[in-house]
């Protein structure tokens, strides 16, 4: 059983500017910091795919996950954004782990939201195939996904304020 979630995040910039940031490799260099060198970035036709694989020490993971994880947990994340068309763009974020049966998939839609503003509509789910505790971890992952996307929002806004 998976946990689904849906919410919106408002930007103080029009979709054209937000999309331009999300498809700019300079934004990803800032956003990923030290992890940028590990990322695989494909850009073309107004679209971008940013894939990142890393190994996390179990001690860096939330308590319940750390108890179940091997010493190092392989984590993959892929962000995809299609081209902007008529003030709208669709994207996705996917994540999975190696070492625990965890997956997360998020569909994203960037759209206009009033004068010179935009909204990121988020529709996703988290799935953990571990008996008894899977539901608890799914709730935790839902919260982690919300936090991650809000940090992405803050990073985009900061990038647009200081290009």
Note the pLDDT tens digit of each residue in 15-69.
Answer: 999 999 999 999 999 999 999 999 999 999 999 999 999 888 877 777 778 777 7
> At a CB cut-off of 8 Å and minimum separation 6, what does 86 contact?
none
* Superfamily name with CATH number, domain 2-161: START domain (3.30.530.20)
Asked if 41 contacts 28 with a C-beta cutoff of 8 angstroms, the reply is yes
82 has pLDDT over 70:
yes
Neighbour-count burial of 60, counting CB atoms closer than 10 A to its CB (0-12 exposed, 13-18 middle, 19+ buried): exposed
User: Which range, 36-40, 87-91, 124-128, is most confident?
Assistant: 87-91
CA distance 61 to 126: 17
Q: Facing residues of 72 across strands?
A: 57
More confident position, 1 or 111: 111
Q: What is the mean pLDDT of the chain?
A: 91
pLDDT at 132: 78
> Percentage of the chain surpassing pLDDT 70?
99
pLDDT at 1: 62
CA dist 46 → 10, 80, 84, 88, 159 (Å): 22, 11, 7, 12, 18
Q: Kindly report the pTM of this predicted structure.
A: 0.89
140 has pLDDT over 90:
no
């Amino acid at each position: 059983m998976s946990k689904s979630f849906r919410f919106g995040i408002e930007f103080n910039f029009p979709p054209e500017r937000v999309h331009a940031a999300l498809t700019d490799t300079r934004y990803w260099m800032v956003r990923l910091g030290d992890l940028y060198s590990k990322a695989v970035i494909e850009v073309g036709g107004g679209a971008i795919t940013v894939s990142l694989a890393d190994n996390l020490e179990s001690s860096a993971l939330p308590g319940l996950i750390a108890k179940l994880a091997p010493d190092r947990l392989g984590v993959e994340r892929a962000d995809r954004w299609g081209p902007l068309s008529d003030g709208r763009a669709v994207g996705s974020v996917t994540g999975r782990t190696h070492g625990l049966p965890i997956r997360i998939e998020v569909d994203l839609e960037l759209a206009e939201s009033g004068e010179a503003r935009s909204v990121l509509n988020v529709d996703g789910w988290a799935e953990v195939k571990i008996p008894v505790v899977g539901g608890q971890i799914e709730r935790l992952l839902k919260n982690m996904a919300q936090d991650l996307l809000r940090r992405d929002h803050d990073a985009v806004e900061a990038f647009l304020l200081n290009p």
